[in-house]
């Protein structure tokens, strides 16, 4: 089962490597990892998607909490989330298929960001299912290249107070 964790970490060199090393040392697999600065320039947020059972996820959460630059770990299990992934995809763009491809781009509320003589580059943003669906629809036209950010997530405004965070240390 896929689970989304979020780690608030100190924004300093080596933190990502330290976290990745923890995952590798314990044979945990990362399905998706996205990192970026927060509203506080001293902190970054890691959004980590991990596949595993409850025991595995609990171990991942505990091990993350032990890493010194990790300030807080959030387990979004059971939370209503807004999840997004960003993808750039190059799709073959022959003249006879351009109207079809443009219709697909519009249907997915995607955005053409570059056009060449043979390929079009499209930006697609949304939940993972939308990204995967766009790739699958484009395969018959010829997918040249795909780059994805990995999932980011934020809980929706809570209906009831709930603290599912775990202070590190």
Task: Let me know whether 7 and 55 are in one domain.
Answer: yes
Sign of the CA dihedral 70, 71, 77, 81?
negative
Residues of the chain with pLDDT below 70 are: 158-166, 168-169
Q: Render the burial of 119-145: b for 16+ CB within 10 Å, e for the rest.
A: bbbbebebebebbeebbeebeebebbe
Looking at the fold, whether 7 and 70 belong to one and the same domain comes out as yes
Q: Which CATH number belongs to the domain containing residue 143 in this structure?
A: 3.30.70.1150
pLDDT at position 8: 96
Structural domain total, the chain: 2
Q: CB neighbours of 74 closer than 8 A, spacing ≥ 6?
A: 5, 6, 7, 8, 164, 165, 166
**Residue 68: predicted pLDDT:** 86
Would you list the DSSP string of 37-99? Answer: E-SSTTEEEEEEEEE--HHHHHHHHHHHHHSTTEEEEEE-TT--EEEEEEEEEEEE--GGGHH
Q: How far apart are the first and last CA of the chain?
A: 27
pLDDT at 161: 46
Which domain covers residue 47, as residue numbers? 2-75
The C-alpha angle 99, 101, 106, rounded to 5 degrees, equals 95
SS3 15: helix
User: Structure tokens of 155?
Assistant: 């809980």
CA 156 to chain centre: 17
Q: 52: domain CATH number?
A: 3.30.70.260
User: Does a structural domain hold residue 90?
Assistant: yes
């Amino acid at each position: 089962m896929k689970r989304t964790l979020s780690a608030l970490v100190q924004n300093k060199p080596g933190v990502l490597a330290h976290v990745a090393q923890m995952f590798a040392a314990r044979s945990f697999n990362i399905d998706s990892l996205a990192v970026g600065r927060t509203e506080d320039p001293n902190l970054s947020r890691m959004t980590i998607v991990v596949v595993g059972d409850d025991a595995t996820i609990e171990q991942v959460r505990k091990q993350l909490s032990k890493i010194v630059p990790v300030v807080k770990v959030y387990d979004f299990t059971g939370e209503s989330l807004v999840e997004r992934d960003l993808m750039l995809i190059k799709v073959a763009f022959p003249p006879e298929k351009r109207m079809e491809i443009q219709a697909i781009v519009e249907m997915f509320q995607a955005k053409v960001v570059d056009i060449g003589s043979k390929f079009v580059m499209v930006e697609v943003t949304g939940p993972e299912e939308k990204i995967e669906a766009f790739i699958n629809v484009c395969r018959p036209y010829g997918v040249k290249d795909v780059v994805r950010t990995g999932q980011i997530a934020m809980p929706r405004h809570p209906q009831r107070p709930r603290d599912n965070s775990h202070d590190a240390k």
